[in-house]
Amino acid sequence: MAKGKTTVFYCQNCGYESSKWAGQCPSCREWNTFVEEVVQKGVSAREAVKKRENLKPVSLKEVDTSEALRITTGMEELDRVLGGGIVPGSLVLVGGDPGIGKSTLLLQVCKNLTELNKSVLYISGEESLQQIKLRAQRIGEFGESLLLLCETNLDTISEVIKARKPDVVVIDSIQTMYNETVSSAPGSVSQVRESTGVLMQLAKGIGISIFIVGHVTKEGVVAGPRVLEHMVDTVLYFEGDRHAAYRILRGVKNRFGSTNEIGVFEMRDTGLEQVANPSEYMLSGKPENSSGSIVACSMEGTRPILLEVQALVCQSNLAMPRRTAAGTDYNRVNLLMAVLEKRLGMHLSACDAYVNIAGGIRMNEPAIDLAIVLAIVSSYKDRPVDEKTIAFGEVGLSGEVRAVSMVQQRVAEARKLGFETVILPQVCLKSVEKLQGIKIIGVSTVKDAVRCI
């Protein structure tokens, strides 16, 4: 064990501290809440005073930012999610389910960086050199400046990083790394936290950018109780249905840019391909002239995405009708159905209802409410909606259609993809300019909207 460091165990529930592990916390009586933590021996009082004397506030104007020039990853989709490229000295966590394509994405970033003559160090604790090479061969030609290392001991890794000082380091994955100061197994909360701490000091100390791969646990968080997210500068989640080809990279936290942005990729046999126009991609395969289907427009950051909302409403044989919502919020669908029941007098309580956002994408923006409502009505009445129509707007409990943001962008996207009619909230009418070739219908209640289809 390194000098000056000891480990303690503490209860995650009540904070009770103990020198050894216990199954049950003696204080709050919760089971399995103990985790190990490394504590640094405190700085002596004199040193602390000395440190404080050196502290001097600086004027915001005097802070020098000229160094923070971003490095492009060679992938526009990724650059946008990062806020315009990689910030030197930043620590970026790329999370996602196993097998979603995190290693592939980062290896492709390495390839692009070597083409720009940046030195890159790819450290893998999961795959052998041969396996990485095989993957790399599918992706394409790599420059000379990519170095590989198969290692899991973090002390060795930090020695190598300090000696080589590459521009960018990739750690694949944080769950395989271990730190000798902590006795628990790799992948445990304390190991992951300690390892990230070491990497953060390296990134900030030497000014290199580090990408960390983190597998998501069953609960959908990286290594337990979000231990990593507050330590790193940027958190990106790579998501998508493993069986569908497209993948979405979503910014969850970003100290250097907006978190609303997404990047869309498609998994091919030669690696990940950027999808420049996701709307077109999402709408491919849309059925023609069938009831229960309508296109909605949702904003992902600054990007409008058109997607197909489908509903299937049929007579139920069950005492408790079955309801499902794939790709959107289940409770929201129930709420919207209750609005239809009360405000339009539709007898949905005797019907099974299945709502689906086609393409396996997840959308929770309230702006898709109106499309969900119209899809349900269309299926219930078995009346197809005109194919060239899109609808968006938030639906309130009184059946009113409420305003949404960025109306102009949504309408422009619909026009770009050849739609001819847009149903939108009445209150938004004043914020859209008239565009040629597209009819805009403002509606103030769900009843009005249903009359339009």
- Binding residues vs ligand TYD (CB under 6 A): 96, 98-104, 135, 138, 267, 269-271
- Minimum CB separation of residue 324 from ligand TYD in Å reads 27
Q: How far is the CB of 101 from ligand TYD (least distance, A)?
A: 4
CB closer to ligand TYD out of 271 and 442: 271
To the question of whether residue 100 is assigned a binding role by annotation, the answer is yes
Nearest residue to 411 (alpha-carbon basis) of 387, 385, 429: 429
Residue 196 in the binding site for Mg ion (CB under 5 A): no
Q: How far is the CB of 103 from Mg ion (least distance, A)?
A: 3
| Residue 187 marked ligand-binding | no
99 is in an annotated binding site: yes
Say how many CA atoms lie within 13 Å of 79 toward its Cβ: 13
**Smallest distance, Å, CB 272 to ligand TYD?**
8
The answer to the question of residue 175 lying near Mg ion (CB under 5 A) is: no
Query: Could you say which of Mg ion, ligand TYD, none residue 112 binds, taking C-beta under 5 to 8 angstroms by partner kind?
Result: none
CB of 104 or CB of 114, closer to Mg ion: 104
- Ligand-binding annotation for 101, yes or no, is yes
184 makes contact with Mg ion (CB under 5 A): no
CB of 138 to ligand TYD, least distance (A): 4
The string over 131-162, giving b where at least 16 C-beta atoms fall within 10 Å of a residue's C-beta and e elsewhere, is ebeeebeeeeebbebbbbbebbebeebbebbe
Quote the CA–CA distance of 388 and 399 in Å, as a whole number: 25
Residue closer to ligand TYD by CB (options 222, 305) is 222
Query: Which one, of 365, 364, 139, 327, lies nearest residue 241 by Cα?
Result: 327
Instruction: Confirm or reject binding of residue 119 to Mg ion (CB under 5 A).
Output: no
CA distance 417 to 409: 13
**Does the protein bind Mg ion through residue 124 (CB under 5 A)?**
no
Angstrom distance (rounded) from CA 66 to CA 93: 25
Q: Which C-beta is closer to ligand TYD: that of 100 or that of 355?
A: 100
Could you tell me the smallest distance in angstroms from the CB atom of residue 262 to Mg ion? Answer: 21
102 is in an annotated binding site: yes
**Per-residue tokens: 146:** 């990519």
Question: Binding residue for Mg ion (CB under 5 A) from 103, 124, 158, 184?
Answer: 103
The tokens describing 301, both together, are: 């950051």
- Chain Cα centroid distance, residue 301: 12
Tokens 């102009």 map to which residue?
408
Q: How many CB atoms lie within 10 A of CB 20?
A: 9
Query: CA–CA separation, 319 vs 45, rounded Å?
Result: 71
Residues in contact with Mg ion by the rule CB under 5 A: 103
Annotated binding-site positions for ATP? 96-103
Annotated binding-site positions? 96-103
